Amino acid sequence: MLTPGPPARVLLLGGTSEIGLAILAALRLPPGTEVLLAGRDEQRMAAAGRQLGCSVRTIRYDATALATHQALVADAFAGGDVDLVISAAGILTSQAELERDPLQAGVLVETNFTGHVTTLLAAAGRLRAQGHGTIVVLSSVAAVRPRKANLVYGAAKSGLDAFARGLADSLHGSGVRLLLVRPGFVIGRMTAGMTPAPLATTPSAVGAAVAAALAGRRDTVWVPPSLAVLAVALRAVPRPLWRRLRR
């Protein structure tokens, strides 16, 4: 993105993502901005788009339909330069459910990791050619260390986190920037019915933190910021103790 000016064209992957939409809201996009919402639920995207007050186009995007991702990116970039790509597609399924039906774990990994890789590699190529732009990747504190209570989700986020860090380095000097976002427990649709973990946050807090980080030059943002300290502690917990954690 041409910071600190506002982005003119934005692509949100995961077009109904609460966090993704909260980032767009926090950016206070001017009415002339063109927002591309890419997701599965056209109706919900259209409704979300009306809230944004910019010109919105919805594109059908299935994170697990890997073969379609290159064409989707080509479509998004066909209308002009894209200044900001937000990779926010994600699902959360309970570990018990995944253990009952391991195939669903495969879908989770495809949605939360593999689909980001295929889409972002295609987008990064386009951004590199246009010489500017920003990618925002939504990782998680779960990427820090896998917990047995949430191990598939944690593994997928670890993969995404590592991919994003590597991609950021490969884009260095290209004019393209990658901002890696690691929220903690986010109270919202995805975590409905779950007991919030310590240092829980909200989609709008994540949105505000990302908007602030986009105005600066940081490459990683923790929400809340104190999670960065907690992450150091999480890594330091001895494994015999770690495996006794219940959640």
Site residues (vs another protein, CB under 8 A): 2-6, 8, 28, 30-32, 81, 129-132, 173-176, 211-212, 215-217
* Cα(223)–Cα(201) distance, integer angstroms: 7
Rg (CA), the chain: 17
Of residues 46 and 129, the one with the C-beta less far from another protein:
129
Of residues 52 and 176, the one with the C-beta less far from another protein:
176
Of residues 64 and 202, the one with the C-beta less far from another protein:
202
Q: Which residues contact 144 (CB under 8 A, 6 or more apart)?
A: 182, 231, 234, 235
For the beta carbon of residue 196, count every other beta carbon within 10 angstroms.
13
Copy the structure tokens of residue 10: 């934005």
Contact yes or no for 76/38 (Cβ under 8 A): yes
Of residues 174 and 204, the one with the C-beta less far from another protein:
174
Tell me whether residue 153 is one of the annotated catalytic residues: yes
Of residues 63 and 176, the one with the C-beta less far from another protein:
176
Q: How far is the CB of 219 from another protein (least distance, A)?
A: 12
Chain position carrying tokens 């339909």: 65
Strand partners, 35: 10, 56
Q: Choosing from 61, 77, 153, 163, which is the catalytic residue?
A: 153
For the beta carbon of residue 192, count every other beta carbon within 10 angstroms.
8
* Cα(71)–Cα(119) distance, integer angstroms: 10
Q: How far is the CB of 54 from another protein (least distance, A)?
A: 12
* Cα(20)–Cα(233) distance, integer angstroms: 28
* Cα(22)–Cα(183) distance, integer angstroms: 13
Instruction: Please give the backbone phi and psi of residue 156, each rounded to the nearest 5 degrees, phi first.
Output: -65, -45
Copy the structure tokens of residue 79: 């209308």
Q: How far is the CB of 134 from another protein (least distance, A)?
A: 11
Q: Which residues are catalytic, by number? A: 153
